[in-house]
Amino acid sequence: MRESVKFYIDGRWTDPADPARSRTLEVVNPATEQVCGTVAVASATDVDRAVAAARGAFPAWSQTSVPHRIEVLRNILDAYQKRSGDLAAALTEEMGAPASLANGFQVGLGAGHLTKAIEVLEDFPFEERRGATLIVKEPIGVCAMITPWNWPLNQIAVKVFPALATGCTMVLKPSENAPSAGQIFAEILDAAGVPAGVFNLLQGDGPGVGVPLSSHPGVDMVSFTGSVRAGVEVARNAAPGVKRVTQELGGKSPNIVLDDAAFAESVAAGVANMMGNSGQTCSALSRMLVPGSRMDEAIGIAREAAAGVTVGDPNGDVAMGPVVSRAQFEKVQSLIQKGIDEGATLVAGGTGRPDGLEKGYFVRPTVFADVTNDMTIAREEIFGPVLTILGYDGVDHAVEIANDTEYGLAGNVAGADLDQARAVARRIRAGWVSINDGFDFGCPFGGYNKSGNGREWGEFGFHDYLETKGLLGYAPDEAAP
C-alpha cells in the first residue's frame, strides 16, 4: 500500500500543518478497482508554508551560476535513473500504464526532457547586448505547478526542469489520482542535493490545493496542465494577482492521411497510436481524415489494426491497460454510446469491457467511421481509446475539417509525398504538427485556441519562466550616433 501522506517543504518531509483536521483520499488501482494507496490533501496553511519556503529560497537560487545549475541537473539525472524502476512500478499501479509503456516512454520522457534541459542551459542566452542597452533574462520568481495523471513524469519534467534551469523556485501539486510519481520525484530531487526550498511538493486535489496555490499572493507564475474547464478556473484564480499563467489543455487533433501509396500503413499506424496510453493523451490524433473514396478501404484496415491491440493486466505483455478511474471509464462509455446513437459506423469495439475482463476500468479499442465533424465524438475530447474516421473530398476540404475545432494542440499529416505533407502541415492551425509521426524533444509544445497558451519542451520551455529586463545606458560608449 503506497502512502503519500507527507509533504516536501523547505527540504524536509513534513506532516500536514493540522493533522487532526487533514483529509486523505484513496488511490485506486484501475486494473483491479482495489485501493492501492492513500494521499493526503494539503490545506491553505500548507500552501502558505510551501510558498514561504520557495520565496525564502529564491534570492539565493536565482543568483546561482549556470555551471552550478547544470551540476545540480546532472545530479538529478543520476538520481532519476537510479529510481526509474520505482517510477515505472508506481505508474503501472496507479494509472494502469502497461509495464512496457511505463518502463519505456513514460519514464523515458522525464529523462529525455532533463537531458534536453541540460543541453539548452549550456548555451542559453540570458544576456544580449544591443548597442548601449543590455537585454537580460531573469527568473520570474516562485512558480506554482499543477500537473495531471495521464503522463505524470512528462508533465512534471517539462515544468520543473526549465524552472530549475532558469533560477526559479517552485511548488508542485501532482494529480491525486497518481500521486506516487510526484512523491518519488521529490525524493529524487532531495537525493540530488537540490537546496532546501527550491522545490516543494504538496499533495491533494484542486479545491483543497489548486485553488489556494493558484491564487496565492506569493506566487509569481502558474503553469497548469489539464482540462479546459479547470484551466479557466486556474486563470480566474490567478487573475487578481496579475500572475503569468501558462496552460496546456485539451485537444481533438486531426491526422490527415493523404491519398498515396502509404495509405494502408498510415491508417494502421494511426489506429495503433490512438490506442497508446489508453487514448489518454492531450495530443492524441483522435480524428483521422481519409479520402472519402477510400473510406471502405480505411474501415477494413482500421478494423484489423484495432483487433490486434491487446488489452489486459498492465503488468503483463499487453499494448493497452485500463483508463485511470471509474469516472473516466463512465465518461468514455457514454461517448461511445453517443457515437452509436448519432449514426456513426461502429468499426471496432463499442461499449462494455473487452471479452474476458470482468473488473477493472478497461475499455474496448473502439473505432468509428463515416463520422461527420458535427457529431459529438468528433467535437468533444473523449480521452479514451476511441478513434473517429472522417472522409474528405480533396486536400482543401481536409484542411477545412482539421481546423474546424475549438482546440488546436496537435496534428499529423501522413503520406509518402513529403512535399505535399509539408504543405498540408503548414496549413493546420495547431501548435505541434508532425509529419509521419515525427518526434523531437526540442520542438515547442503547446496549443492554439482552447488548447492553451505558452510553450513547453526544449529551449521554448525556458521562456515562460523568465522576465525580460532592459538596462539602458549599460554601455554608453556603444550608443548609436
Task: List, by residue number, the catalytic residues.
Answer: 248, 282
- The sign of the CA dihedral 346, 352, 357, 363 is positive
Query: SS3 for 463?
Result: helix
Phi-psi bin for 186: left (phi > 0), alpha (psi -120 to 50), beta?
A: alpha
Beta strands in 65-156 (DSSP E): 127-130, 133-139, 142-146
With left for phi above 0 and alpha for psi between -120 and 50, is residue 446 left, alpha or beta? left
Alpha helices (runs of H) in 151-222, residue ranges in sequence order = 152-166, 180-191, 211-214
Instruction: Calculate Rg over the CA atoms of the chain.
Output: 23
Interatomic CA distance for residues 386 and 368, integer angstroms: 8
Which of 447, 444, 445, 394 shows the shortest CA–CA distance to 424?
394
Q: Report d(CA 89, CA 108) in Å as an integer.
A: 14
Smallest CA-to-CA distance from 310 within 274, 354, 248, 280 is with 354
Site of grid cell 493526503: 40
Q: Are strands 142-146 and 221-225 parallel, antiparallel or unpaired?
A: parallel
Q: What 3-state class would DSSP assign to 56?
A: helix
Which residues make beta-bridge pairs with 368? 346, 388
| Other residues' Cβ atoms within 10 Å of the Cβ of residue 17 | 17
Contact in structure between 50 and 200 (CB atoms under 8 Å): yes
Please name every residue paired with 470 in a beta bridge, in sequence order, or none if there are none: 135
Helix axis angle for 180-191 and 152-166, nearest 10°, is 30
